[in-house]
Amino acid sequence: KTTDPDEFITVVKNIGDTWGGINLEDIKSPECFVIESELQDLLDIPVFHDDQHGTAIISTAGLINAAHIAGKRLEDLKVVLAGAGAAGLSSIGLMKAAGVRQENTVIVDRDGVVYKGRDNVDQWKAAHATDTPHRTLAEAMVGADVVLGLSAKGAITKEMVASMAPNPIIFAMANPDPEITPEDVLSVRSDAIMATGRSDYVNQVNNVLGFPYIFRGALDVRARQVNHEMKIACARALAALAREDVPDEVAAAYRGRKLKFGRDYIIPTPFDPRLIWYIPPFVAQAAMDTGVARKPIEDMDAYRTELRSRLDPSAALMQNISGAVRAAPNKRVVFAEGEETAVIRAAWGFKQAELGTPILLGREDLIRQNAAEAGLNFDEMAIEIVNARVSEHNVDYTDWLYARLQRRGYLRRDVQRMINQDRNYFGAAMCARGQADCMVTGVTRNFNMVLKEVLRVLDVKERMIGLSILLARGRTLFVADTSIHELPNAEELAEIAIQAAA
């Protein structure tokens, strides 16, 4: 009920010892600065004003990536802040900690530019005042690289946007109506990178991207506070996550919208399930590095797995499988349908996870084109590409397979066509002849048809089975056979059970 900062501080101080952290909401400037600062001094736990620091973290993450896309360095950016409230001042402060220079910033409040020597400026605004000849927002935006809007609808005009430097970065974060709409920006600047606080536009600056995860990391190391380094770590982690390949389940949550790092995707989406296990470890590590952690985490990989398993019960099992694969000798895995975008992304993820050596079958120009459209840079991660039509192994594979199939009525030209034109035959031949250890296929064709082709090339020494893994109510069940044997007899059932157990 109170609007007295001292009374508010007294109440929170008296309950503070029973909490792991305190989150403050909806406190206006400048009272929020006083309340947070005093409580942090009085309490030995994190005190965090979400409206202030949450916005700062997300907008800093967006700026890091927007500057990268625009081909600009943070230290060279000329930044204008329109709106000198708590969120705006915290945002500009965190951006400076990330690399933006003090002398390159201009802050504008209701009374105009906050310059050194101006009267009636509180201590929090004065800390960001610069020597500048500008006195209005319109003057300050001429030649600016970045404008951060945390003020009111209509505060930024088309004319102001038109006067900005090439590839301007415009964060119009007033809610519910931004300082200027993306449509208006686009009408005067096709080169702009735009973000708002609204979910119906791309690049939504949403505090939910930071608040729960920075607290997760802070609480898990029993941090005494959330310091600048932890906020920067969270911002940089969010920026790094946006550059990762976006999983299909994330795209599905957005009705198939193409989420790919670029002008329309500079920060992760609020419903990205990776946030819970990706962000907190960076925050926890920063707390440990700066000495505010009372309970350091010794195994960060295990911590990530534990976080992931809270959301996905299969995570711990998959981590065990992945660990076993990494510990075993390196395997060469051929992906037969290598021109398919989903397969290219699978091979990319396989290589990134250091699970083995992927080989994509297909035409190199088409694979590279599809990879680029998916936002994957093959120059950064060398993945082997094999074109079956021009492979040096064609003759060997054809001779070997013809010797195997000639008594089944296959002519040599039939076998040659199979090797040259059907990547399932070529990929299986790679495994049979020792150029690969494993093969992945069946994305574009019925698996039963694919299986018949593969079995013309490979011998199965023991009974072949299909195996599914079911995780339910804390149990892991291996179910066999759900895909190969339609009506197994008693002897076959016994063999299938033995194979599945092995």
SS3 state at 377: coil
pLDDT above 90 for 486? no
Distance, CA of 48 to CA of 292 (rounded, Å): 15
- Name the percent of the chain lying above pLDDT 70: 99
Residue 82, classified by CB atoms within 10 Å of its CB into exposed (0-12), middle (13-18) or buried (19+), is buried
Task: Report the pLDDT averaged over residues 263-288.
Answer: 92
Q: How confident is the model at residue 316 (pLDDT cuts 50, 70, 90)?
A: confident
Is pLDDT of 86 > 80?
A: yes
Share of the chain above pLDDT 90, in %: 67
**Which of 494-500's residues contact partners 24+ apart within 8 Å by CB, and which partners?**
495/463, 496/463, 496/465, 499/462, 499/463, 499/465, 500/465, 500/467
What average pLDDT is seen over the chain?
A: 91
pLDDT of residue 28: 87
Q: CATH fold of 329-455, please? A: Rossmann fold (3.40.50)
The pLDDT value recorded for residue 427 is: 95
Residue 319 has pLDDT above 80, yes or no: no
Residue 355 has pLDDT above 80, yes or no: yes
Judge contact between 438 and 350, C-beta under 8 A.
no
51: phi then psi, degrees, rounded to nearest 5: -60, -30
pLDDT at 379 over 80: no
Residue 31 confidence (pLDDT):
92
Identical fold, 72-204 and 329-455: yes
Q: What's residue 318's pLDDT?
A: 79
Residue 95 in tokens: 């951006």
Q: Are 481 and 488 in contact (CB under 8 A)?
A: yes
Q: Name which of 308, 235, 230, 232 is nearest 267 in CA terms.
A: 235
Nearest in space to 61 (alpha carbons), one of 235, 211, 209: 235
What is the rounded (10 degree) CA torsion for 183, 184, 188, 194? -60
Residue written as tokens 């607290």?
Answer: 215
Terminal Cα distance for the chain, rounded: 65
pLDDT band at 256 (very low <50, low <70, confident <90, very high): low
CA distance 207 to 25: 12
Task: Tell me which range, 178-192, 303-317, 342-356, is most confidently predicted by mean pLDDT.
Answer: 178-192
pLDDT of 269 higher than 80: yes
Question: In one letter, which amino acid is 94?
Answer: L
Residue 259 banded pLDDT, cuts 50, 70, 90: confident
Instruction: Measure Cα distances from 27 to 130, 166, 179, 448 in Å.
Output: 27, 37, 22, 62
Contact indicator for 281, 300 with CB cutoff of 8 Å: yes
Least confident of 115-119, 193-197, 253-257: 253-257
Lowest mean pLDDT among 33-42, 220-229, 251-260, 329-338: 251-260
Q: What one-character-per-residue DSSP string does 424-441 give? A: HHHHHHHHHTTS-SEEE-
Most confident of 165-169, 338-342, 419-423, 492-496: 165-169
Q: What confidence score (pLDDT) does residue 446 get?
A: 87
Helices 31-42 and 5-15, interaxial angle, to 10°? 30
Helical (H) or strand (E) element with 469: strand 468-472
Q: What is the pLDDT of residue 255?
A: 67
**CATH homologous superfamily of 72-204:** NAD(P)-binding Rossmann-like Domain (3.40.50.720)
Assigned token pair, 321: 């499988």
**pLDDT exceeds 90 at position 314:** no
Mapped onto helix, strand or coil, the DSSP state of residue 170 is strand
- Angle between helices 275-289 and 228-243 in degrees, nearest 10: 150
The amino acid sitting at 365 is D
Cβ-proximal residues to 375 (8 Å cutoff; 6+ apart), any chain: 245, 246, 260, 261, 262
Give the confidence band of 332 by pLDDT, cuts at 50, 70, 90: very high
Q: What are phi and psi of 172, to 5 degrees?
A: -100, 95
Q: What is the mean pLDDT of residues 273-301?
A: 95
183: CB partners within 8 A, 6+ apart: none
Angstrom distance (rounded) from CA 455 to CA 347: 24
Cross-strand bridge partners of residue 345:
none
98: Cβ contacts below 8 Å, ≥ 6 apart: 60, 63, 64, 74, 232, 235, 236
With 80 as the cut, is the pLDDT of residue 457 above it?
yes
Cα 434 to Cα 436: distance, rounded to the nearest angstrom? 5
Pairing assessment for the beta strands 79-82 and 105-109 based on DSSP bridges = parallel
State the burial class of residue 31 (Cβ atoms within 10 Å of its Cβ: 0-12, 13-18, 19+). middle
The reported pLDDT for the residue numbered 200 is 85
Kindly state the average pLDDT of the residues 438-447.
91
pLDDT for 206 beyond 70: yes
Computed from CA positions of residues 376, 270, 201, 54, in that sequence, does the dihedral angle turn out positive or negative?
A: negative
Checking if the pLDDT of 108 tops 70, the result is yes
Domain ranges of the chain: 5-51+208-307, 72-204, 329-455, 468-501
Judged by average pLDDT, the poorest of 198-212, 389-403, 427-441 is: 198-212
Q: How confident is the model at residue 33 (pLDDT cuts 50, 70, 90)?
A: very high
Closest to 397 (Cα-Cα) out of 421, 430, 422: 430
Handedness of CA 202, 208, 209, 211 (dihedral sign): positive
